Structure 1
Amino acid sequence: MCNLKGEILADSTKDRILAAAQSILKQRGADALTMESTAELAGVSRKTVYNHFQNRFKLFDAAVAHWMRHVLDGVEAIAANRELPFIEKLNAIVDRGFRDLREGGRIIGRPQRERLDPAELDLRKSLQTSLKQLIKTIVLDADRSGYIRNDFTAEQITWIIINIITGIMALDPIEENNFTKAELLQDALRAVILGVLSPVGLEVMQGSALLSGKAGLDNP
């Protein structure tokens, strides 16, 4: 009984630390994430943070992975709903995904280090697999509905979209860039989607969340 209580308390403490780390990342970015700032916000000692995470890079990886899993879980649940018509489902997925991305603030960014450790590489592969499956499901649905031009395959479009998403997410901030990553991602996806849609696809997608450029924004 005591061991179970201790495990519950430990999980609760770890969740608080992760929540604090995510808050710092969203508001101030990767460079502001330290073991000290996280401990202060979580209301625990610096030693407690180190008990759960070896260093700030491990903490960063865990916090971002936890946030990304939350985002993917949300859109995957929508994608799995077979009762939604395709366009309604796509709008809901895009709107939910971009809302989470905008609310994520500066969480997409990396602290400087020379190389990634094997554990993080495995984690990235796992998340990328989930992302690929989600995008593939959406693209295949669009293809079966006749919304994609015949000169593009579902596999091509799936990988194009994955590379756009992962490429923009990995970009370091550029001083001259006046656009957020959410804005760049939405514009890039809109440009690609407009280029691969069939005439039927263009017609049914008019006014969609993605093509409107307002995905993830509350309607006035």
Structure 2
Amino acid sequence: MTDAKSLNPRTARSRARILDATEMVFREMGYEAAKVEAIAARAGLTRKTVYNHFSSKEALADAVIARAGAQTEPLYGPAIRSGEPALDLLATILCDSSKWCTANPDLARRALAPRLRPTASPPEDPSLQGVVIDAIRLGQSQGVIRQDEDAGFLSLVLLGLYAQAMLSALETSEIGSDGVRRIVRLVVEGIGT
């Protein structure tokens, strides 16, 4: 995804309009039924303009997902840096993520799909995984999360369980904040006696 700070203001505005329109069209029509023409019309731009910024519908979906991930650090970074209780933060981060997933089920399925799940080394861009890693590091420093494992690896364990639970919830019903808190608790406490 292109860094918005490196774009001229007009290009940045066009991209933001396109991504806003993409999110709305995907919510209303679903990913499969959505057409780039509908996204362009919703954005008040031409189809050609959309394709000048994004190569395909898949690229649009990936950009909306990346934008949502990039919004996590400004939301939770201050709480992490101020040392709030890590387990509460992890539950809040994932509860908020589940709300986005239920509001954007087609995009969530794409974001949570195994081929797109994060790796042990987080991307350079801000992301949900990066915030979870920071919250886990905070928990390690607070003594509530084991310190003998790398925070990046622990984030994969937590996010892997969360992703599977979220994918299942999208097919049946909303997971809810109690379900997310349960996942965090089980991951932290483990499944052993």
- Post-superposition Cα deviations, 1:94-133, rounded to whole Å, max 9, x if no partner, equal 554444444445431339xxx99xxxx99x9627984444
Q: CA RMSD in A?
A: 4.2
Match of 2:21 in 1: 20
- TM-aligned CA deviation for residue 37 of structure 1: 1.0
In structure 1, which of residues 193, 208, 211 is the aligned counterpart of residue 185 of structure 2?
Answer: 193
Under a length normalisation based on structure 1, what TM-score does the superposition of the two structures give? 0.59
Where does residue 142 of structure 2 map in the other structure?
145
CA gap 1:13/1:141 in 2 versus in 1, 3 angstroms: closer
| Matching of residues 117-128 of structure 1 within 5 Å | 126=123
- Pairing of 1:1-220 with structure 2 (within 5 A): 7-82=8-83, 84-86=84-86, 89-90=89-90, 92-110=92-110, 126=123, 130-148=127-145, 153-155=148-150, 157-167=154-164, 171=167, 177-180=171-174, 183=175, 187=179, 190-191=182-183, 193-194=185-186, 196-197=188-189
Larger radius of gyration: 1
Distance in 1, matches of 2:126 and 2:9, equals 30
User: Whole-Å Cα distance in 1 between the matches of residues 10 and 133 of structure 2?
Assistant: 40
Tell me if structure 2 keeps the 8 A contact 1:79–1:93. Answer: no
In percent, how many aligned pairs have the same letter?
22
Using the TM superposition, give the Cα deviation of residue 34 of structure 1 relative to its aligned residue in structure 2, in angstroms. 1.8
Q: Secondary structure at the match of 2:32?
A: helix
Could you tell me which runs of 5 or more consecutive residues in structure 2 were left unpaired when the two chains were aligned: 1-7
2:3 corresponds in structure 1 to none
Size of the aligned set, in residue pairs, is 177
Q: Is the 8 A contact 2:18 2:39 kept in 1?
A: yes
* CA distance, structure 2, for counterparts of residue 103 and residue 77 of structure 1: 25
Per the TM alignment, residue 161 of structure 1 is displaced from its structure 2 partner at its CA by 0.5
**Cα deviation 1:129-148 (Å, max 9, x = unaligned):** 84444223323333443435
Return the letter of the residue paired with 2:188. Answer: V
**Residues 59 and 191 of structure 1: is their aligned pair in 2 closer, same or farther, counting only changes over 3 Å?**
closer
* TM-score, normalization by structure 2: 0.65
The verdict on how the C-alpha distance between 1:173 and 1:31 changes in structure 2, with shifts beyond 3 A counting, is farther
Q: CA deviation at 1:25?
A: 2.3
Q: Which runs of 5+ in 1 are unaligned?
A: 1-6, 199-220
3-state SS of paired residue (1:110): helix
Aligned pair in 2 of structure 1 residues 33, 126: CA closer, same or farther (>3 Å)? farther
